[in-house]
């Protein structure tokens, strides 16, 4: 059973609408003090493997995924994100998204 990362511990945001059929990347941001506990290389989002990641100036973990590899359709409002903490504990959860054609 995968552990859940509580929203208050590591809030997740997808800062912009995901436009399907367009080239480019989309980001998922983990904010809060527990963002540093996540193993970025283990992350998947909507079925896509991570392209690259970084920490922003506020210590938020910014994950970047190729939009063409996301398993989403217009009208979807949630997407699965999963990965592991640095201690090896798996976790997964739903992220609110806006998907447009």
Q: What CATH number does residue 47 fall under?
A: 2.60.40
Q: Which H helix or E strand runs over 40? A: strand 38-45
Q: Let me know if residue 54 belongs to a domain.
A: yes
Q: Let me know if residue 79 belongs to a domain.
A: yes
Strands 25-30 and 61-66, by their bridges, are antiparallel
Q: Let me know if residue 69 belongs to a domain.
A: yes
Domain interval for residue 48: 12-100
Determine the pLDDT at residue 21.
Answer: 85
Tally of structural domains, the chain? 1
Closest CA to 13 of 71, 74, 58: 58
Determine the pLDDT at residue 3.
Answer: 43
Determine the pLDDT at residue 2.
Answer: 42
Determine the pLDDT at residue 40.
Answer: 96
pLDDT tens digits, one per residue of 26-72: 999 998 888 899 999 999 999 999 999 999 998 999 999 999 999 99
Q: Let me know if residue 85 belongs to a domain.
A: yes
């Amino acid at each position: 059973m995968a552990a859940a990362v509580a929203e208050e511990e590591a809030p997740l945001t997808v800062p912009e609408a995901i436009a399907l059929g367009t080239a480019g990347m989309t980001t998922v941001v983990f904010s809060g003090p527990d963002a540093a506990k996540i193993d970025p290389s283990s992350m998947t989002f909507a079925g896509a493997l991570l392209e690259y990641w970084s920490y922003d100036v506020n210590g938020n973990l910014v994950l970047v995924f190729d939009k063409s590899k996301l398993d989403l359709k217009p009208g979807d409002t949630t997407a699965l994100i999963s990965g592991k903490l640095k201690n090896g504990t798996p976790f997964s959860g739903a992220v609110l998204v806006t998907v447009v054609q």
